[in-house]
Each structure stands twice: as C-alpha cells, then as structure tokens.
A and B are shown apart, each in its own frame.
Chain A
Amino acid sequence: MTRVNLTVDGTAYTDEVEPRTLLVHYLREQLGKIGTVVGCDTSNCGACTVLLDGKSVKSCSVLAVQADGAAVTTVEGLAGPDGSLHPIQQAFHDKHALQCGFCTPGMMLAACDLLRDNPSPSEQEVREGIEGNLCRCTGYQNIVAAIQAAGQAMRTGSNGAANNGSADSDPAATVPAGSQEVSA
C-alpha cells in the first residue's frame, strides 16, 4: 500500500492505496465520489474525466498514486458552495445537452479544460476538443451548443456562478500552473 495526499473538490484526503488502484476507483470506492463514473475499460469513452490540477484527464488512465499532491476536481466540485451552478452546468441544462446523463460529468469537465485553452471555440474546435468523450444519446449537437454558450457566459461573466468555488477546484477561475502542493 502507498500513502497519497490529495485534494478532491476542495477537501484534503490522506489514504493508503494499492499501487495499481486507478484514480477513478479511488474516487468512487474509497472517497465515495460516485458522481464520476466508469463507462469503458480502454480509455475511449471519457465518462470518467476529471480535472487534475486544472487539466482534464481520464481518471481511468491515471493511477491514484500519480495524483499524489494534486488537486482533483470532479463533477461534484463544479457548483459553488452555495449550490450555484457552474456556467458549464447551467449551459448543459439550458441547451438540453444531456439525456441519460451518464457521459455528462466527463463531458462537462472536458469542456472546462477546452474552454480554459480556448475561451471562444468555433463549432469545429469544440467537436474536435471533445472527441475523447463519447455520448450515445444526444448526437452531440446540443453539447456543442452548450459548450459554446458556456464559453460566452464565462467570457462575459453573465453567469453569476462563473467565479464561485475555491481556486483549486474552479476550472473557470485561474488554474494553478503545474502540480500544487496540498497539505493533508
């Protein structure tokens, strides 16, 4: 077993994990962060996408020990402490960008990273930016529209939720460069 210290959605954790434990299994089974889901076993579907120090990763492709010292944001950490929705959540709701909702956590977090890199993406840039996240329900059209709408909202600050959350868990705010030391 190996000891890891990390912050997930603003809360610091210290745990013993098996070296082979994937980050997604650590999140779901040890932390009870069941908002993050597993959709495949080949890193194709992206349902398990989370932010690791602000950058999107497929948490089935990261060992829990690799997240040692990092800040992880899951879907459960997107909304503000007062429950106000993050602009990407609001946009997914407004644009009917989800049906069954299983891909939604990963899709929203991938979108956060995309918008961090490119705050005003074209339709084609959005489509290519979320290529690693599969959705079986929506045909993607409303997802693309939602991501563009969220980008607009975040640029103009038209959504009050744009600046909520702690700095290390809010992908809309400035993301710390590189790995961040977190005391357990």
Chain B
Amino acid sequence: MTTIDERPDVAGGGPAAEIGQPRKRKEDQHLITGRTTWTDNLTLPGMVHLAILRSPMAHARITAVDVSPALSRPGVLAAFSGQDFAETQGSIPCAWPVTPEMVNPGHPSLAVDVVNHVGEAVAVVVARDKVAAQDALEAIEIDYEPLPVVLDMEAAVADGADKVHAHTESNRSFTWTFESGAAGTGAPIEEVLGQAEVTVRRRFLQQRLIPAFMEPRSTVVQPVGDGFTMWSATQVPHILRLMLALTLGVPEHKVRVIAPDVGGGFGGKLQVTPEEVITALVARRLGKPAKYTESRSESLMSAHHGRDQIQDITITARRDGTVTGLDVHLYADMGAYLRLVSPGVPVLGAFMFNSIYKFDAYRFVCEGVFTNKTPTDAYRGAGRPEATFAIERIIDELAVELGMDRMELRRKNWISHEEFPFTTVAGLTYDSGNYEAATDRALELFGWDDLVAEQADRRSRKDPVQLGLGISTFTEMCGLAPSRVLGALSYAAGGWETATIRMLPSGKVEVITGTSPHGQGHETAWSQIVADQLGVPFDDVEVLHGDTASSPRGLDSYGSRSLVVGGIAVVQAAQKVIAKARRLAAHLLEASEDDLEFSGGSFTVKGSPGSSKSLAELAFAVFSAHDLPEGMEPELDATATFDPENFSFPHGTHLCAIEVDTETGFSTIRRYVCVDDIGEVINPLIVDGQVHGGLAQGIAQALYEEAVYDEEGNLTTGSFVDYLLPSAADLPSFTTDRTVSRSTTNPLGVKGVGEAGTIASTPAVVNAIVDALRPWGINDVQMPCTPERVWRAISQGAEKSDRDPGGTVAWGGISTSSSDGSSAAEGDQL
C-alpha cells in the first residue's frame, strides 16, 4: 500500500492501534454455525402466513375481483383485495421530489382498480401456514381489462403517447436540469459547444438491473397495543419506521422496526415496500402476528430494479486534447411508480459525469419517465455508476477521434494532485486525491506495456482470440450526505448519523449506531474505532444496531455513508465520553483537567505517572456515584450526531485485460487490477471484501445481467435461470491495492468503500471489449456484452464478413463530427 499522507497518531493513544488491522469479523460466528436470525426464521405464537397474488398484466383495469372463493380453502383465515384496504393503505412514499413540479401518481401497496406492472400485488391470502396460503391464491377470481402497455421511454414521452397513469398529463415525472453557466460553476454550455474544435456524441444504454440480494425480502409484524413491531429484511429500519407511521397513520412512537440479520441489500432493501405495508395492514386487521416471505421469482418481479437509462452524451475538446464541454441528456426509467428515492437516483449522477476532469462547461438534463415496468430505485452506486460509465466510455471515444493515447488524454485533463481542494464544473469541491499515484501503481501491477505488446502481436497475427485493454479512472461522491446539500436537492430528510456510547459499570462498552449493517461488518469496524478512541480492548466493545427501540435515531446504511458519517459519529461520541471522564478523573486524582493526559484507556497526571484512573474505574465510579464532582450527573454515556460538511471522494484506477474470442464472441477476463484510494482504512480485510464484491457486480453489468421485458411487459428474466448472476466460475481473481489520500473533512480521514468496485469496473470491462474490437471499426457494444452481442458486432463491423448481421442488438445511431465540417458515421449500424 502506498501512503501518500502521513497518518496522524491515533486519538487516545494506546499500545497497538486497532485501526488498520485486518481483524477477523465479530459477525461471523453465528453466520457460519447457522444460528441466524433472518426474518424468515422468526416464528411467533399464533402467527399467520401471507401469500400475495400478483398481476400477470403489465397494464390493465381491474374490472372485478372476488377473494371469497379462497376462504373455503383449507387453513385459510382471510383474504383481501385492494378494495379492502383502499381507505387505509395510503401511498408508498417518495421522499425525493426532485423538482417542485414533479408528478407523483401515487403508489397503492395493493392495487385497487388498475395494475401498472407485471408482479404488482393485487390480493393477499392469509392462512395458518404458507403452503395453505399459496394454494388458495388460485381460487381468487379477478378480471382484467387490458390497457395499452408503455415500455419504451422515448415512445412514452412522444406526443400522443399512451399513458401509464390516466390521471397524469404525460408520462414525464420530472425534468431536472443543471447548467454551469446558470449555476455560476463554469462557462455557458452553448457557448463552449459552439466553439468546439472536436465534438464526439454517443448514446449509451444503461440496461435495467436487479439488485438480487441473496436473502429474499421477508417481513413479520406483531400487533402491540395500538401499534406494532415489524421485523423486516431492510437496510433502513429508521426510515421505515417513520414512513410506516406516516403512511399508515399510526403514531411513530407506537411503531418499532427491527432489522435482524439481513442478507444483503445493495440498495435493493433501501425501500418502504408494498409487502411491508400489506403485512402490517393484515396483522393489524386480524390482530395476529403475520409473516410474508417472498419467493425469488416474486422478488425479481416486484422488488425495485436499478439503472435503466438512455444516455445521450456530447463531449467537446480542443485538437490538443483539452476537454472543454460536456453535455448530458438522460431518460431515466422510473417504472410504473415512484418509490422511496426513485427520482433522486439519476439526479445524484448529475454531479459525477464530469468525474475527475476539468471541463469549462457542463449541462445535465434528466427526464424521469413512467413505463409499465417494475419501479426503479437505488442499486449499488445509484446514479454514479451510470455517470462513470458514460464519461469513461466517451473519453475513450474522444481519444480515438483525436488519435491520442487513452491514458494520456486522461492525464492531460484530470485534476492534478497539487490542485486539491478543487471545485468542479458541477459545483462540488473535491477535498483530496491523487489520480497520478493510483494510476501509476495500477499500471505497474497490471504490466500495461507487456499487455500492449501482446495485443499488437495478436492483432498482427489475426489471432482469433484478441486482447482488449480497458481503463477506468474514476471518482465517486460518498458519505451521503451533508444535510444542507440534500435540502438543496429537495430530499425530505437529512444526511446526519448518530452514535451513542454506553460505559457499563464493569468497564465494558456498548456502542449504539444508527447505521444498519447487512453484511458490511460494522460490529467489527466500529469496535476497532472505539478500541482506539477509548483505549479499551476490541473484545470489550459490543455494537448494537438495527432496532429502533435500542437505536432510536439513525438514517441507516446506503450510499457508502456508514463509516464516513456513522463512524465519525462514533468517534465524536467517544470524545464526549472522554470529556466527561476527564472531569471525574480530575476530581478523583485531585488535579486540574488540564494536567491530565489520556492514553491507553487511562488518565494520568502529567509528571506523576504513579497516579492514574482507568476508564473502567471511572465507569464504576459513576455507577456507585459515591464521590462525584459537584453537579456531575452519574454517567459517562454520550451521544453524538454528525452531519458531514462535504461528501467524500474516493477515487481509483481500474484496468481490465479481456480476451475476446472473435469466432464465438465469448469474453474472458484475463487480468483485473484496481488501485483504490478510499482514504484511511479501518480494516483492510473488510475493505478488500467490499471491493471484490463491488467488482463482481460492476463486471456483471458489463457482461451478464439484464432485466428484459417482452413486448407485452412480461419480465422474461424472472428467475435465476434467466437473470444471470455470475458464479465463481464466471469471475477472475482480482488484484487489489490502495493508495491513501486522507479525506480532509472528517477526523478519521476515511472516504467510504461500499460502491467503488461497482462504479469503476463496468466501464473498465466494456472499454476493454471495445478496445479488442477496434480493428473491426467497432466503437460500442451494448451491455451486457454477451457472446451473442459481441459476435453480432464483429459480424456486422467486419468488412468483407460473410456472417449474417441480422437482428443485431448492439446500439446503433452513433455519429462523430468535427468542426471542420467532416462528419463520419462510424459504425452506424453496429
């Protein structure tokens, strides 16, 4: 690991710093022995089970529904349609009205009179066991009158288009714009575009993806008095509690939400789901604890999807390779409804298209569009992978147009390490970074020159297996988020995080965090932070989370925020504990607070090393409370809430070498190197794991995954047979390394790592594939770059090819023009 900045001493001192150690995880023991608390494992006395009937139609009017035949089936206790809850179910909330004019058509949990996507819940059966409930679904009688199905975003916004929602004016939900001239962050975009020496335009497609966490969603609701307790497979127990209260009209203090063991989320469990609302409605209606657990097929159909954008992007540059303008237009598919942060996802990308490069002018226009598909919302990266893909792809295309080396073009335009802090054309201030260091290290590990030579050799030999080399030099905005920024973006909530530290009489420590881990290892990492802060043993720290009764305040885990925001709250809470303890120690040691030193978990009087009080002794002293300073409350516990002043900006350089068999179109990743700069590292074992998993998901977008709908709006990738999650055999071993540029906006110098791998890897892979195919005149392959798509691109792109080019699915319509008037339609028909 290359350390660019010196790491300061650990606060609180101590013999051996825990921060930076590859501690094995505290979380593992119960997970490797099967003593797990997944929501679906929970059984309560008298519990009933739900099964949900889902729409087979993408768009239809419900003309008749009769659930009563299900009631005569064995074991069935009740059955409900949307009519039964029409007055009580409220609307699934959308917390991010990105513009004042944004159209939100409302989102019933159980469809009442219209269905808007295949898989939408239309009725629910309640039975004594799950099988009985599922068996009875077939007895429900329901008539649908088909309505026109809206699937294509461009067709959806055309004049006279059929509408998803009859009561809205059009299929546009919102148009969100940013322009550097108007914002005062750069030159007017039209001026810069008009003066361009070189212009490259591209259309890229972000296919629809499915988060596909391994644990299917599950919810248990127990009525308690006039409120209820909900266990749910959620990333956001705190947000869920508030939203359930607002949606159902139950006072917030009567709602408790518990996220027990949660099996992955990746944004997919950052939601208030119809299934959670339905389970709560049923449990309260019947006065019995109720459980709903989805099948994988239900999950793929009805849990929110991600990505799905049409990106039209224009980049301008001078002939010498200096980039000048960036103009981005997005169509972002919202699907049938707006869920919790659906509109905010593409808008987050607005600040990242310019990435690490210095543009004079920038414009971003995003149109949110309704279609008769499953709603989209956050998926790992949420707006930033889309932006990174587009900029890293078009930088490569610009290099080809200019005849420049791809890395030289990047070096010429990125922010150099002497220029930080740097305010970008999108208005963000990047606090730190060193793109040169990360890139140099990545090139070294990759063996770039040798691979370039091999590529040349394979090209000259016309080897059927060609080698492509892909670059992605990226940054991301993490640590969501400064509350004032969220306010400026019209998000309904803030971005702070809370932590409480409780000093127990025996000297053990409880940490209550508002973050809600579901695989990230916060119990281990937070213990390391607290061990260093308080000078207590790692094993003496217990981290509590995921229950709104014990952890009443928090904004949960997403957006690479947990460490950068929640971890800093832990540090600040620890500092408050030390401040309280200092006062007590001074009293007991009969010294001035100013004369005390805190190190290794003990206060000592400067100059008299013999007299000291350990934190454990002080914790017992407040418990007994026999001898406290005048007016001191008998406790050392402290709570801190941290609101970041800025985002953090991890960055890195990812390099991919891929072998493309030009006869079959099959691609095999030969080497993948990434050097990430995520600032200081709390636990390198956990960090490497986060990077590996992120890479797998980003590579999966490039090569494997796509949610596909047929012309009637049926999801044809509705099981793991068709929605291709990569297996171990589909992925390579990754070479990972790090450089360290400390974040300057938080005391740990950390930046966040949850999404880096996913954001960076997709363009590295696709750039590699396109690089392999350049000799065929190919300049894009639509994701996922399946063997069929690669083969068809080659067949169509190759001159004198005798292969049938029909039916290509690679995107066409690409054009490049220069200001000298020449215009080349490069690979128009790819």
Contacts and interface: CB of A to CB of B under 8 A. Distances in A.
Interface of A: 25, 28-29, 33-42, 44-45, 47, 74-76, 78-79, 85, 89, 92-94, 96, 98-105, 108, 123, 126-128, 130-144
A184 B694 CA distance: 48
Contact of B295 (A41, A96, A144): A41
B32 A98 contact: yes
A47 B31 CA distance: 13
Contacts of A89: 32-33
Contact of B264 (A94, A100, A126, A130): A100
A141 B692 contact: yes
B720 A42 contact: yes
Top 4 closest pairs, chain A to chain B, by CB: A35-B34, A101-B31, A102-B263, A100-B519
A94 B733 CA distance: 18
Contacts of A33: 34
B721 A44 contact: yes
Interface stretch (B462-470, B539-547, B683-691, B741-749): B683-691
Nearest to A33: B34
Contacts of A126: 728
Contacts of A92: 28, 32
B720 A139 contact: no
B729 A136 contact: no
Given A102-B38, A139-B692, A144-B728, A41 B214 contact: no
Q: Looking at B40, B696, B721, which has the most chain A CB atoms within 10 Å of its CB?
A: B696
Given A41-B296, A136-B725, A138-B692, A93 B25 contact: yes
A134 B32 contact: no
A45 B726 CA distance: 11
Given A39-B216, A102-B214, A45 B720 contact: yes
A28 B518 CA distance: 22
A93 B688 contact: no
Contact of B38 (A37, A78, A144): A37
Interface in B223-271: 261-264, 266
Contact of B521 (A45, A78, A99): A99
B518 to A, nearest CB: 6
A45 B214 contact: yes
Given A25-B131, A131-B728, A139-B692, 12 more contacts: A34-B41, A35-B36, A37-B215, A42-B719, A75-B34, A104-B32, A127-B729, A127-B731, A136-B213, A136-B266, A138-B689, A139-B694
A130 B262 CA distance: 23
A109 B731 CA distance: 21
B296 A39 contact: yes
B721 A100 contact: no
Contacts, number: 173
B719 A41 contact: yes
A96 B688 contact: yes
Contacts of B626: none
A35 B35 contact: yes
A110 to B, nearest CB: 10
Nearest to B36: A35
Contacts of B685: 96
Contacts of A75: 32-34
Interface string B14-31: 000000000011011101
B611 interface: no
A67 to B, nearest CB: 18
B214 A127 contact: no
Given A96-B686, A99-B519, A136-B693, A35 B33 contact: yes
A34 B36 contact: yes
A93 B22 CA distance: 12
B623 interface: no
A127 B212 CA distance: 21
Contact of A101 (B263, B721, B725): B263
A135 B521 CA distance: 16
Contact of B28 (A25, A44, A93, A134): A93
A87 B41 CA distance: 26
B696 A140 contact: yes
Interface in B705-750: 719-721, 725, 727-729, 731, 733-734
Nearest to A108: B32
B297 interface: yes
A69 B328 CA distance: 65
Given A41-B297, A99-B693, A140 B731 contact: yes
8 contacts: A29-B129, A37-B40, A45-B720, A96-B24, A100-B262, A140-B727, A141-B731, A144-B728
B729 A128 contact: yes
Contacts of A28: 41
A126 B729 CA distance: 8
B695 interface: yes
Nearest to A21: B131
Nearest to B263: A102
B185 interface: no
B714 to A, nearest CB: 17
A135 B214 contact: yes
A118 B728 CA distance: 17
Contacts of B129: 29
Nearest to B24: A93
Given A99-B521, A102-B38, A102-B214, A78 B24 contact: no
Nearest to A100: B519
Contact of A42 (B263, B695, B721): B721
B30 to A, nearest CB: 8
Nearest to B31: A101
Q: Looking at B33, B261, B297, which has the most chain A CB atoms within 10 Å of its CB?
A: B33
B235 to A, nearest CB: 11
Contacts of A136: 212-214, 264, 266, 693, 696-697, 725
Contacts of A104: 31-32
A104 B29 CA distance: 12
Nearest to B42: A34
B829 interface: no
Contacts of B413: none
Contacts of B692: 138-142
Contacts of B695: 139
A128 B729 CA distance: 5
B734 A100 contact: no
Contacts of B733: 123, 141, 144
B520 interface: yes
Contacts of B262: 100
A85 B296 CA distance: 31
Contacts of A34: 34, 36, 38, 41
B215 to A, nearest CB: 4
A139 B24 contact: no
Given A76-B34, A130-B728, A131-B728, A139 B696 contact: yes
Given A42-B296, A100-B263, A136-B693, A141 B734 contact: yes
Contacts of B518: 100
Nearest to B37: A34
B292 to A, nearest CB: 14
A28 B214 CA distance: 18
B263 A131 contact: no
Q: Looking at A92, A101, A128, which has the most chain B CB atoms within 10 Å of its CB?
A: A101
B277 to A, nearest CB: 23
Interface in B265-293: 266
B636 to A, nearest CB: 33
Interface in B414-448: none
Contact of B33 (A78, A99, A128): A78
Nearest to A104: B31
Q: Looking at A105, A108, A128, A136, which has the most chain B CB atoms within 10 Å of its CB?
A: A136
Nearest to A142: B689
Contact of A139 (B25, B29, B693): B693
A27 B32 CA distance: 18
A118 B34 CA distance: 25
A96 B689 contact: yes
A79 B34 CA distance: 10
B214 A74 contact: no
Interface in B518-565: 518-521
